[in-house]
Amino acid sequence: MSSIPPVEAEPRFASLDRFCSVGRTVEILSDAWSFLVLRECFFGARRFEAFQSVLKLPRNTLVKRLHKLTELGLLRKVSYSASASRFEYRLTEQGRDLYPIMLALLKFGNTWLSEGQPLPLELIHKGCGKTCSPVVACSDCNQPVDPHDVQYRNGPGAGSQPHATERTRSRRASDPDILERVRPCLVARSLKIIGDRWSFLLIREMFFGVRRFDEFQANLGIASNILTDRLQRLTEHGIIEKRQYQARPDRYEYRFTEKGRDLYGSMIVMMRWGDKWLSRGKPPLVLRHRQCQQDFFARVVCSECGEELDPRHVEYALHYTLADLAQ
Ligand SMILES: [Zn+2]
Ligand SMILES: [Zn+2]
């Protein structure tokens, strides 16, 4: 891909946050409990008891998450009995639109994180009747998107803002280790890598062409010990690798591995969701596909028939049982 230069630092601010639809999206999904509730929605859960029986989370936590997801506009409460006191939660259009993100993360997990084990979940596309895998494709020509084939330019919502102070940042997300309880889940395993705010921001900066320690620091306003820790973690996960680019004094930069570069699909699918639902019609960034020479957004399509995957037209073959996991 053709990298765009880092945001020009304005002298007034030591560092800047990019306006970024991906970041806004990941803020929502990086809360582990919220993610788990949404995932169960895609498996068909609607009622409080259904969420509770699968997730086995404290009642109060579940109440709070359902409330939060409703406030965010991802779920809506629908009364299902005449008494109006019995209600269930259904995905709104905005919530259902998170499905391609789940699928893109699933694809990444299936490709890189299954550790040689059989995949716990297979998708069957009702549209074509075949077992399929999700493919991130161009909205215009429907071909798979490779990061090398994408050019960027600023959109109407481009810009940046001074870093939020710690006080205004969202609170620390819940423990990522809960992500895989109940179900073995490759989406959750992908989120464990990128769902951490700083790790995610580092990956994003790298897709913008940022490679060096001091550039990360300048762009993100991240403390150097946290930066060191996250770079280390991403290296251990095999997402990035450290390369020397200068000797005496020795200097290093970070490059994506093949695995790391493969996160691109998930990134642009998250960006699409943020652009559609959170940017008020002003996307910060416009993508152009070199192959078809058109501006595009990312869609997730069936590997077998090329049709966009809609949660209402996908069935699942589960190669595990929930009972096994409840032990
Ligand atoms: Zn295209
Ligand atoms: Zn299909």
Q: Which domains are seen in the chain, by residue range?
A: 96-325 (1.10.10.10)
What are the DSSP calls for 33-49, one per residue?
HHHHHHHHHHTT--SHH
**Which residues are bridge partners to 255 per DSSP?**
241
Is 280 strand, coil or helix? coil
pLDDT tens per residue, range 94-143: 999 999 999 999 999 999 999 888 899 999 999 999 999 999 999 999 99
Element (H, E) at 138: strand 134-138
Give the Å distance between the CA of 86 and the centre of ligand 2.
37
- What angle in degrees, to the nearest 10, is found between the helix axes of 264-278 and 197-207? 100
Q: How far is 160 from 15, CA to CA, in rounded Å?
A: 10
Which of the listed ranges 151-160, 169-178, 181-190, 219-228 does the model predict with the highest average pLDDT? 219-228
Q: Grade residue 160 by pLDDT with cuts at 50, 70 and 90.
A: low
One-letter identity of residue 107: K
Q: How far is 12 from 162, CA to CA, in rounded Å?
A: 9
Residue with the larger pLDDT of the pair 122 and 155: 122
Give the Å distance between the CA of 277 and the centre of ligand 2.
26
Q: Buried (b) or exposed (e) across 305-326, using 16+ Cβ within 10 A?
A: eeeebebeebeeeeeeeeeeee
Residue with the larger pLDDT of the pair 33 and 229: 229
Give the Å distance between the CA of 5 and the centre of ligand 1.
24
How much is the pLDDT for 174?
Answer: 53
For residue 285, pLDDT beyond 80: yes
Least distant ligand from the CA of 143: 1
Q: How far is 315 from 209, CA to CA, in rounded Å?
A: 38
Q: What is the mean pLDDT of residues 56-81?
A: 91
Q: How far is 295 from 66, CA to CA, in rounded Å?
A: 36
Q: Grade residue 300 by pLDDT with cuts at 50, 70 and 90.
A: very high
Q: What is the mean pLDDT of residues 163-190?
A: 63
pLDDT tens per residue, range 253-282: 999 999 999 999 998 998 899 888 888 888
- How far CA 213 is from CA of 96, 129, 219, 232, in Å, comes to 38, 48, 10, 12
How much is the pLDDT for 193?
Answer: 85
Q: Grade residue 161 by pLDDT with cuts at 50, 70 and 90.
A: low
For residue 180, pLDDT beyond 80: no
For residue 3, pLDDT beyond 50: no
Give the Å distance between the CA of 301 and the centre of ligand 1.
13
Give the Å distance between the CA of 192 and the centre of ligand 1.
30
How much is the pLDDT for 215?
Answer: 93
Q: What is the mean pLDDT of residues 200-216?
A: 90
The token pair that represents 263 in the structure block: 């996160």
pLDDT tens per residue, range 13-64: 333 455 566 766 777 787 888 888 999 999 999 999 999 988 888 899 999 9
Q: How many CB atoms lie within 10 A of CB 177?
A: 9
The token pair that represents 128 in the structure block: 């074509």
Q: How far is 16 from 12, CA to CA, in rounded Å?
A: 10
Q: How far, in whole angstroms, is CA 112 from its chain's centroid?
A: 16
Element (H, E) at 298: strand 298-302
Least distant ligand from the CA of 296: 1
Q: What is the pTM of this model?
A: 0.86
For residue 324, pLDDT beyond 60: no
Give the Å distance between the CA of 132 and the centre of ligand 1.
21
- What angle in degrees, to the nearest 10, is found between the helix axes of 99-112 and 186-194? 90
Give the Å distance between the CA of 189 and the centre of ligand 2.
25
Give me the count of residues in the chain. Answer: 327
Q: How far is 103 from 62, CA to CA, in rounded Å?
A: 24
How much is the pLDDT for 17?
Answer: 52
Element (H, E) at 245: strand 240-246
Q: Grade residue 204 by pLDDT with cuts at 50, 70 and 90.
A: confident
The share of the chain scoring above pLDDT 90, in percent, equals 54
Contact between 101 and 269 under an 8 Å Cβ cutoff? The reply is: yes
Is 144 strand, coil or helix? strand
* pLDDT, mean over the chain: 85
